[in-house]
Amino acid sequence: MSGEDDSKLEVSEEQIKEAEVCKETANKYFKEQNFDEAVKWYSKAIELNPNVAVYYANRSFANLRQEAFGYALSDASKAILLDKSYVKGYYRRAAAHMSLGKFKLALRDFETVTKARPNDSDAKKKFLECTKIVRKLAFEKAIAVDKKNVADTIDLAGMAIEDDYFGPKLVDDKVTLDFMKKLMDCYKNQGKLHRKYAYKILLDVEQLFMKQPSMVEVHIPDDKKFTICGDIHGQFYDLMNIFTLNGLPSPDNPYLFNGDFVDRGSFSVECIFTLFGFKLLYPDHFFMSRGNHESVTMNQMYGFEGEVKSKYTEQMAHLFTEVYNWLPLCHCLNNRVLVMHGGLFSRDGVKLDELREIERNKQPPEDGLMCELLWSDPQPQDGRAPSKRGVGVQFGPDVTHRFLKDNGLDYVVRSHEVKADGYEVAHDGKCITVFSAPNYCDTMGNKGAFIILNGKDMKPNFTTYEAVVSTKS
């Protein structure tokens, strides 16, 4: 590493001092976990003095915490450009690469860090973790040709139910309402569903999703209500609170859960089996869209894969991947409202017929319609911009209006972003975000929300709620 960049801009002593004050203010906000404000103040410091690598590395870290991986990557690279010997820059860039699933690039940066700091135990741990993932991916790629469907390898008949198992049981291999109530009670008491029933639910729900198109069309009668929930992220007790506030799913109380059911929270397994159970119980009145976290890379990075291996088996983790590949990508309600996890597209002229025909049985690609449905975000200004996440696109009000007009729709609903009130109405009321995981990651302090509409006017009504504090450890 050869030191600092020579092409620095001239900055006055006054600007240098003022920039340091902005950085300290930003640091204070960061410690309070107010990452929005932290980013604003780091940006002010950079405007005053764009020559300091630390400012970019700090802003990179704040962006990482907000899942703005694209911005985090750009800032870390700028920090390295300013000072090639600045180790934290490489550390931040490695973390951004990891978050985007670019493990080989992350490994290269972690290698730089460990060479510069051979005694840094955290850097060494991350380097080894990344090395394992790269080797595992290489191995899986090498054997992919001979790989069978995991579903075909499951031997349900060979799984015995032990005499001391007192948890919920499927009746005649079917999910019933009684089973679902017992399952939720079991989970509330930190119990566990027997692996035989867990595998059975996964195999059955995979068959159900395989029969659905990539865009599911939902009819809501004039006099019926319909509920849309956003990200749940493994927050089981908050999921239970939604059902307490709004009633259990039923033919008269249909739900759509709009992706990101797992990762981050500690009870992702409990959340996903509850949701899959209701999908099997009410296949025509309970709907689930794929989110960007229903993917291998995200599940490796943010906890779900490890949780499944801990509570069940590695084989089940692979089966989940297979099931997620068949989740529908979006839902069209009464031909008036399109609901997807992420957002709209990098080109105009996309029609609903194209969404129906997307080949979805795969891991999300890095571009194209499927990627954008899972990853894109709205922006307040017109036009399009590169995504702050490094995947997908940011789209403005004009993009939303053209898409709605082209397809005869009223508005779009999406999730994917934490909002202080649990929801946000943007783009002149035509683009609504709903996020249902309150106090996200136990740190964000946000409310959760869900949307209720009825078939007649399709007008969105919002219910907000605070996080539930579990009494269980």
- Taking only the tens place, the pLDDT of each residue in 300-313 is 888 999 999 999 99
143, pLDDT greater than 80:
no
Q: Which residues are catalytic?
A: 293
pTM to 2 decimals? Answer: 0.90
Q: Are 38 and 30 in contact (CB under 8 A)?
A: yes
| Domain boundaries defined on the chain | 13-143, 177-465
Q: Does the domain at residues 177-465 carry the CATH identifier 3.60.15.10?
A: no
For helices 268-281 and 304-311, what crossing angle results, to 10°? 80
Q: What strands, in cross-sheet order, belong to the sheet with 384-386?
A: 377-378, 393-395, 384-386
**Strand (E) positions, 112-173?**
none
Rounded-to-integer distance, Cα 2 and Cα 175, Å: 64
- pLDDT tens digit sequence for 31-57: 988 899 999 999 999 999 999 999 999
Lowest mean pLDDT, pick from 88-92, 200-204, 229-233: 88-92
Supply the CATH classification number for the domain 13-143: 1.25.40.10
Name the pairing type of β-strands 448-454 and 225-229: antiparallel
Q: Are 77 and 93 in contact (CB under 8 A)?
A: yes
pLDDT tens string 339-384: 999 999 999 999 999 999 999 999 999 999 999 999 999 999 999 9
235: pLDDT strictly greater than 50: yes
Same fold, 13-143 and 177-465: no
